[in-house]
Amino acid sequence: MRQSAHGTLLAILAVANTISAIPSFSTSSYPAHPAEPVALFAQSQPQAPLGLWTRLRNSVIERLWSVPPQQRNHRGGNKQYPLYSAPASLQARYGDDVVLRFRLQTADEVEALVEASNILFLDVWASTDEWVDIRLAKDVVPSLLGLLPKSLQTAHVPLIHDLPQTVYESYPSSSQRPTDNGRGFLPSSEPSSDVTNIFFEDYRPLSVIGPWMRLLASMFPSHVQLISIGSSFEGRDILALRVGVRPAKDPKPRKTVIIGGGSHAREWIGVSTVNYVAYSLITTCGKSTPISTLLEQFDFIFIPTINPDGYVHTWETDRLWRKNRQETSLPFCPGVDLDRTWGFEWNGNTTGDNPCSETYGGDEPFSGTEARQLAEWVKEQTEQHNVKFVAYLDLHSYSQQVLYPYSYSCLPRPPNLENLEELAMGIAKAIRLTNRQSYAVISACQGFTASQKKVELDTFHRMGSTGGSALDWFYNNVGVKYSYQLKLRDKGSYGFLLPRENIVPTGKEVFNAVMVLGKFLLGPDGFEGLNWEAEFQRLNQANLPILHDGDDDDEDGQAKDDTWIPDEYKNDNDHDDDDDGWGLRRRRKR
């Protein structure tokens, strides 16, 4: 009864807050509506079955260009969404932009694209070892191609061409859609049949997240505490939830895990995922022996929005804003990249000291206000409050990767590399078993690098700065043995504009990954008398929001499209003979 009342209160809260000399490749303009390899919007009526040649063509495009395959019902299964046109304000801001994917094969191509991107101050959305996604104005495309070798002048494909509409649809649905009056976008006030999960039916602005966190702390005072990490540049609290059942008068240092999101303001899925994992852990405490054991042995610090100023800016002004909002030496180019400003191997001068760059790390280490506040809080907790930080998860998007140190260079070898890789593989496996989503496991220096083919480790060409990252600072300066960056969904169909239907599935995936992390940290001594797998199966049967068993059916009852899954992963039994269930064996080597 009490739990039902708690869920009702959460629902009430969510509803109540709804109130130059650059060579040109071509003189012709870039086409306003280039052919798309991926369907960006669901159709309002059933489509005829695709013919054999159409399916073959789509398959070739997907494989050659590393374009994510078209997903079934990826706008919410059988749900029907009204068709709204993006308002004039969004048309004015994004109407002339396009997102292109470049397929890279050689080091020379990478170097040329890096140089061209720096010259034109382009917005690099994501990069892997095979492709790079770049957002730019359509009239800049000829200039970009003019700076590239001939092999790249045709080696690109558009991912998102109607950017205003895609941006518009990324905001929460509401009876009052965003208009041109300059007001912020508000969450939906429509009723939900599931009051427990209404908060996760859509993305939420900071004005809703803060009160929701306060409510959780007041509802579960036995194991939840609302804390402030510090203040942002504009004076907002950087709120966090400390979750754990700390034994009284325990003289040992309190082992603590930090899970943060929102360093880059436009990456909303990271914010919602931190909230989902926190909510699941909080509401399951006392109902699951393994989870209760975790919270007795560890504190978890959940920081949904490390960059609150930037996050607010994405709701009120620019949905694709990346940096924080502090002043720089150029008044018309505010903001510091909060994942390039940390004090370990900070190399702001080598990434370009222009504040207009999307990866500007400031004029000195810890120039970013919010990063400095978090670092000072971590130091205070370690030196004055007997806290030992043992793991750090930094949630970002997109490209579906699990990244481990180092980020700044591929030359140094982390001392505990084997354990880092083992746990990273376990995290990726947990995600795959949840919803059959594949995540690559690689060093962060490779995750930020394009086209590793035929290139030695010490000559990697990077599409963006990788020095001054939080990942490396926590690992090297704080001594966090297990420091990871998770790049969440998707692989480019929507990029940073991931539809709301992905919030809960992504949350489930990362929650299960956190459980694997917890079990790994506990080690064999922490599971005496506990049947971890059986307990999770019981929780699944109780319909709690964790550990989807990875079966072949979607929530709407339709079979999943598993054509994107590599053949070697379609039969888990081939890989799991020596790894029962969710088990991970820690290696003796440290």
Query: pLDDT per residue over 346-398, tens digit each?
Result: 975 455 578 999 999 999 999 999 999 999 999 999 999 999 999 999 999 99
Domain co-membership, 257 together with 357? yes
Give the per-residue pLDDT at 549.
Answer: 36
Asked whether the predicted pLDDT for residue 544 surpasses 90, the reply is no
Residue 25 lies in a domain: no
Rounded distance between C-alpha atoms, residue 569 and residue 562, angstroms? 10
Is 368 in the same domain as 484? yes
Strands (E), 283-386: 299-303
pLDDT tens for 172-195 read 876 334 444 434 344 443 433 343
| CA 397-157-562 angle, 5° bins | 60
**DSSP one-letter string for 336-364:** --TTS-SSSS--GGGG---TTSTT---SS
Q: Map tokens 């050689």 to a residue.
A: 106
Q: How far apart are CA 365 and CA 348, in angstroms?
A: 8
- Please give the Cα distance from 351 to 499 (Å, whole number): 32
At 442, list the tokens: 């690689």
Cis peptide before 84 (omega within 30 of 0): no
| Residue 550, helix vs strand vs coil | coil
Q: Does residue 10 lie within any of the structural domains? A: no
CA distance 443 to 421: 9
- 480 within a domain of the structure (yes/no): yes
Please, what is the Cα angle at 506 between 501 and 511, to 5 degrees? 140
Any idea of the CA torsion for 566, 567, 572, 574, to the nearest 10 degrees? -130
Residue from 266, 407, 396 nearest 323 by CA: 266
Q: Which range among 118-127, 159-168, 366-375, 576-585 shows the weakest confidence by mean pLDDT?
A: 576-585
Mean pLDDT along residues 137-161: 94
Residues 267 and 152 in one domain: no
Q: Are residues 490 and 564 in the same domain?
A: yes
Q: What is the pTM of this model?
A: 0.78
Residue 224: in which H helix or E strand, if any?
strand 224-231
- What CATH number does the domain containing 224 carry? 3.40.630.10
Q: How far is CA 353 from the centre of its chain?
A: 26
Q: What is d(CA 375, CA 344) in angstroms, rounded to the nearest whole number?
A: 12
Do 132 and 280 lie in one domain? The reply is no
- Return the closest-CA partner of residue 240 out of 391, 398, 373: 373
Determine the Cα angle at 561 with ends 560 and 565, to 5°.
115
Q: What DSSP designation does 88 have? A: H
Q: Tell me, yes or no, whether 280 and 135 share the same domain.
A: no
User: Which distant-in-sequence residues (6+ apart) come within 8 Å of 360 by Cβ?
Assistant: 323, 328, 333, 335, 336, 337, 340, 348, 351, 352, 353, 354
- At residue 159 the predicted structure's pLDDT band, cuts being 50, 70 and 90, is very high
> How far is the first Cα of the chain from the last one, in angstroms, to the nearest whole number?
47
Residue at a domain's end among 141, 167, 193? 167
Residue 119 lies in a domain: yes
pLDDT at 526: 62
- The two structure tokens encoding residue 302: 């959940």
Tokens of 107: 């080091």
Query: What is the side-by-side strand order in the sheet with 387-397?
Result: 224-231, 237-243, 299-303, 254-261, 387-397, 482-488, 401-404, 440-443
Q: CA–CA distance from 237 to each of 240, 373, 396 (Å)?
A: 9, 11, 21
Cα(434)–Cα(511) distance, integer angstroms: 10
Give me the pLDDT at residue 523, please.
87
Size of the chain, expressed as the number of residues it contains: 590
* Same domain flag for 235 and 360: yes
The answer to whether residues 261 and 385 belong to one domain is yes
CATH code of the domain containing 160: 3.30.70.340
Q: Which strands, in side-by-side order, build the sheet including 97-103?
A: 123-127, 131-137, 97-103, 156-160
Whether 175 maps to a domain, the answer reads no
Torsional class of 247: left (φ above 0), alpha (ψ -120 to 50), beta (otherwise)? beta
Does residue 239 share a domain with residue 135? no
Residue 23: per-residue pLDDT: 40
Tokens read off for 111: 């170097």
Q: Are residues 289 and 363 in the same domain?
A: yes
| pLDDT value, residue 111 | 87
The encoded tokens of residue 221 equal: 């005072």
As a whole number of angstroms, the distance between CA 459 and CA 48 comes to 49
- Give one DSSP letter per residue of 165-209, joined into a string: HHHHHHSPP-SS---SS-PPP-------S-GGGGGGGS---HHHH
Burial 103-135 (b: 16+ CB within 10 A, else e): bbeebebbebbbebbbebebbbbbbbbebbbbb
Rg (CA), the chain: 23
The pLDDT tens digits of the residues spanning 422-461 come to: 999 999 999 999 999 999 999 998 865 544 443 444 444 5
* 499 in any annotated domain: yes
State how many domains the chain has.
Answer: 2
Q: Determine the 3-state secondary structure of 102 from DSSP.
A: strand
Which of the residue ranges 39-48, 230-239, 293-302, 574-583 would you say has the lowest mean pLDDT? 39-48
**pLDDT at res. 257:** 99
Q: How far apart are CA 356 and CA 336, in angstroms?
A: 9
Q: Is residue 299 domain-resident?
A: yes
Q: Are residues 263 and 128 in the same domain?
A: no
Instruction: Confirm whether 492 is domain-assigned.
Output: yes
pLDDT band at 142 (very low <50, low <70, confident <90, very high): very high
Residue 453: give the domain boundaries: 203-316+344-349+352-574
Phi-psi label, residue 113: left if phi above 0, alpha if psi -120 to 50, beta otherwise: alpha
Answer yes or no: do 457 and 523 share one domain.
yes
The secondary structure of residue 477, as a DSSP letter, is I
pLDDT tens per residue across span 576-589: 433 434 444 444 34
Q: Which are the contacts of 155, defined by CB distance < 8 A and separation ≥ 6?
A: 102, 103, 104, 105, 109
